[in-house]
C-alpha cells in the first residue's frame, strides 16, 4: 500500500496511529530461518529429501510468503505453499504474473472443497500454477471430480487425502470404513482418468494445547505415523502402486517446532527405517508466533514478531485499571492458557531479544476498547519488576493470543526495521 508507506516510511513507533499492527522484521526473518534450518537438519540427519510447504494464512502477504520460502536466504528457495482461501492463491498468482516470476510453483488448497460450485474456480487456479493440490475427504468428492472432468489445462487433479488426527477437525480417520472406501474408489478407471493421488496430509490442530516441546514432539510422531499408515493401507489395497512416490505431509506450528528436539523420540530412526513415502513438513503460524504458541512451551515470548499497538485512553485509579483502544475488533476473543486477551509490554521492549517484562494484561474487551489490569503477585508473568505505571495517551504493545485471527482484522501492517523505523507496509489479501 504505497500511499500509507509514503506517509510513514522512516517513522518510528511513536509516530504510528493506534490501533495498528506492527511487525518486527528481524524476528520474522529469524523465525523463518529457524524453521527452514530445522527442516534441512532433519533432511541431513535422515539422509532423506524432506520437503517443506509454507502455510501463508497468518499474514496473507507476498512479503511474508517470500520470507517463509527462504527467498534471499536459501540458495534454492522453497516453492510450495498451502492457502486457506482461494483469494490467497489468486493474489499470489496475480503478483507472480505481474512481475513475471514464478516463485511459488506448488499450491495446495488446505480445505476439502471438491464440490460442483467450487470446482470451476479450482480448475482455473490450477491452470495458472505448475502444481495445484486439492483436499479430498469424502467419496462424493471423487464423483464430483469425475463429473467435472480433468482441469481446464487437461491436467489430472492432484489429490491429498486429509487424515483426521482424532480432533474431528477435517478429514477421515485412517482406520475408518469411509477412508477404506475412498482409497478403493481412487483407483477405479473413471477416477484414475481425471485424478491422481499425490499423498496424505495430517495436521494435529490439538498440538496447540500441549505444554511442552516433548508433548508437541509426540504429536509430530503421531502425525507421521498416521500418514505413513494411510500410505501402507493404500499400498495393500493397490499393490500395483509404488507408494514411494507418495508425499506424506505433516505439521502444525507446535509439531513442526518440535523438530528442534528431533531425535528425542527416535524420530530420525522412524523416518529412516519405516517411512514408505517422502516426508513433507507444513506449517504457518511460526513466522509470527503468538501467546497460543508461547503457551505450548515451544517458544519464548520475545520470539513473537507482531504486536497490536494501542493507546491508553483512560484510567480508573481506585480499581487500578486502564482503558485502551484495543478491543475485540483488534485483539479478538481468542484465548489460551495465558490469561486475558493479550499481554502488554511498553513499546520500548518491542525489539528485545530476551525476556520481556509483562506488567499488564488485557482482562476484558468490548467492541472497540479493552481494560488493562495488573498482573497480581504470584502470576506467572510478573518478572519481579515494580509495576510500570501507565499514563494517559501512552502507547502500549499487546502480544496477541492468536496472530492469524488478529492480523486478519487489520488492513495493513507496519514493518519495523532493526533501527525501529518503518521500512515497509504489507497489505494482506483479505477475505475470500
Q: How far does Cα 199 stand from its chain's mean position?
A: 20
CA pair distance 229, 95, nearest whole angstrom = 39
Shorter beta-carbon distance to ligand PLP: residue 163 or 415: 163
CA 377/CA 141 separation, integer angstroms: 55
What's the closest the beta carbon of residue 219 comes to ligand PLP, in angstroms? 11
CB of 295 to ligand PLP, least distance (A): 13
What is the DSSP annotation of 277-306? SEEEEEE-GGGT--HHHHTTTSS-GGG--E
282 binds ligand PLP (CB under 6 A): yes
Q: How far is CA 217 from the centre of its chain?
A: 17
Is 67 among the residues that bind ligand PLP (CB under 6 A)? Answer: no
* Smaller CB separation from ligand PLP, 258 or 325: 258
- CB 391 to ligand PLP: min, Å: 37
Q: Contacts with ligand PLP in 91-150 (CB under 6 A)?
A: 110
Q: How far is the CB of 216 from ligand PLP (least distance, A)?
A: 11
The 3-state DSSP class for residue 198 equals strand
Binding residue (CB under 6 A) for ligand PLP from 19, 199, 277, 284:
284
Q: How many CA atoms lie within 13 A of 186 on its CB side?
A: 27
Cβ at position 333, least distance to ligand PLP in Å: 18
Nearer to ligand PLP, 110 or 235 (CB): 110
In angstroms, how far is the first alpha carbon of the chain from the final one?
19
Q: Do the Cβ atoms of 119 and 145 come closer than 8 Å?
A: yes
Q: Which residues have a Cβ under 8 Å from the Cβ of 42 and sit 6 or more positions away?
A: 50, 259, 262, 267, 268, 271, 281
Contact pattern from residue 73 through residue 92 relative to ligand PLP, giving x for each residue in contact according to CB under 6 A and a dash for the rest: ---------x----------
Q: From the list 151, 285, 347, 374, which residue makes contact with ligand PLP (rule: CB under 6 A)?
A: 285
Over the window 179 to 218, marking each residue x when it contacts ligand PLP by CB under 6 A and - when it does not, the resulting string is ------------------------x---------------
Report in angstroms how near the CB of residue 354 gets to ligand PLP at its nearest: 25
CB of 284 to ligand PLP, least distance (A): 4
**Angle at the Cα of 133 from the Cα atoms of 132 and 139, rounded to 5 degrees:** 140
Distance CA 3, CA 12 (A): 17
**Residue 197 dihedral angles phi and psi, to the nearest 5°:** -80, 125
- When asked if residue 55 is in the footprint of ligand PLP (CB under 6 A), the reply is yes
Q: Residue 292 Cβ, how far from ligand PLP at the closest point, in Å? A: 9
Q: Does 252 bind ligand PLP (CB under 6 A)?
A: yes
| Residue 220 is a binding residue for ligand PLP (CB under 6 A) | no
Shortest distance (Å) from residue 78 CB to ligand PLP: 15
Stretch that binds ligand PLP, among 32-40, 59-67, 239-247, 279-287 (CB under 6 A): 279-287
Which of these segments, 144-152, 283-291, 308-316, 352-360, binds ligand PLP (CB under 6 A)?
Answer: 283-291
Q: Are 13 and 420 in contact (CB under 8 A)?
A: yes
Q: How far apart are CA 313 and CA 420, in angstroms?
A: 24
- Residue (of 262, 260, 253) closest to 286 by Cα position: 253
Among candidates 251, 220, 213, 290, which has minimal Cα distance to 28? 290
Q: Which is nearer to ligand PLP, 285 or 359 (CB)?
A: 285
Sites of contact with ligand PLP (CB under 6 A) = 55, 82, 110, 203, 252-253, 282-286
Amino acid at each position: 500500500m504505497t500511499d500509507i508507506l509514503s506517509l510513514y516510511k522512516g517513522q518510528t513507533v511513536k509516530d504510528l496511529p493506534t490501533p495498528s499492527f506492527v511487525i518486527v522484521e528481524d524476528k520474522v526473518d529469524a523465525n523463518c530461518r529457524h524453521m527452514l534450518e530445522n527442516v534441512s537438519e532433519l533432511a541431513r540427519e535422515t539422509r532423506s529429501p524432506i520437503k517443506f510447504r509454507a502455510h501463508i494464512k497468518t499474514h496473507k502477504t507476498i512479503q511474508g510468503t517470500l520470507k517463509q520460502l527462504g527467498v534471499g536466504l536459501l540458495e534454492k528457495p522453497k516453492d510450495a505453499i498451502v492457502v486457506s482461501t482461494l483469494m490467497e492463491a489468486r493474489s499470489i498468482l496475480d503478483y507472480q504474473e505481474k512481475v513475471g516470476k514464478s516463485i511459488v510453483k506448488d499450491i495446495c488448497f488446505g480445505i476439502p472443497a471438491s464440490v460442483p460450485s467450487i470446482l470451476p474456480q479450482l480448475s482455473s487456479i490450477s491452470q495458472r500454477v505448475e502444481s495445484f493440490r486439492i483436499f479430498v475427504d469424502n467419496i462424493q468428492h471423487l464423483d464430483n471430480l469425475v463429473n467435472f472432468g480433468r482441469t481446464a489445462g487437461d491436467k489430472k487433479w492432484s489429490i491429498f487425502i486429509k487424515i483426521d488426527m482424532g480432533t474431528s477437525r477435517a478429514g477421515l480417520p485412517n482406520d475408518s470404513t469411509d477412508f477404506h472406501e475412498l482409497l478403493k474408489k481412487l483407483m477405479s478407471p473413471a477416477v484414475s482418468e481425471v485424478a491422481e493421488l499425490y499423498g496424505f496430509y495430517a495436521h494435529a490442530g490439538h498440538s496447540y494445547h500441549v505444554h511442552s516441546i516433548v508433548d508437541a514432539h509426540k504429536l509430530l510422531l503421531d502425525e507421521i505415523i498416521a500418514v505413513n499408515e494411510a500410505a501402507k493401507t493404500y499400498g495393500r489395497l493397490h499393490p500395483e502402486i509404488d507408494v514411494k512416490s507418495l508425499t506424506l505431509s505433516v505439521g502444525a506450528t507446535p509439531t513442526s517446532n518440535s523438530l528442534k528436539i528431533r531425535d528425542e523420540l527416535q524420530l530420525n530412526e522412524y523416518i529412516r527405517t519405516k517411512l514408505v513415502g517422502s516426508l513433507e513438513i507444513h506449517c504457518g503460524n511460526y513466522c509470527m508466533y503468538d501467546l497460543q504458541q508461547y503457551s505450548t512451551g515451544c517458544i519464548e515470548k520475545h520470539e513473537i514478531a507482531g504486536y497490536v499497538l494501542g493507546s491508553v485512553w483512560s484510567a480508573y485509579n481506585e480499581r487500578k485499571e486502564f482503558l485502551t483502544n484495543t478491543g475485540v475488533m483488534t485483539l479478538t476473543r481468542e484465548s489460551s492458557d495465558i490469561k486475558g486477551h493479550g499481554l502488554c509490554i511498553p513499546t520500548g521492549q518491542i525489539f528485545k531479544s530476551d525476556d520481556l517484562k509483562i506488567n499488564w494484561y488485557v482482562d476484558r474487551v468490548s467492541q472497540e476498547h479493552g481494560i488493562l489490569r495488573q498482573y497480581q503477585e504470584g502470576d506467572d508473568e510478573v518478572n519481579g519488576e515494580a509495576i510500570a505505571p501507565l499514563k494517559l495517551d501512552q502507547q502500549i504493545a499487546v502480544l496477541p493470543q492468536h496472530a492469524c485471527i488478529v492480523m486478519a482484522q487489520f488492513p495493513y501492517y507496519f514493518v519495523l526495521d532493526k533501527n525501529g523505523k518503518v521500512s515497509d507496509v504489507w497489505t494482506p489479501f483479505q477475505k475470500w
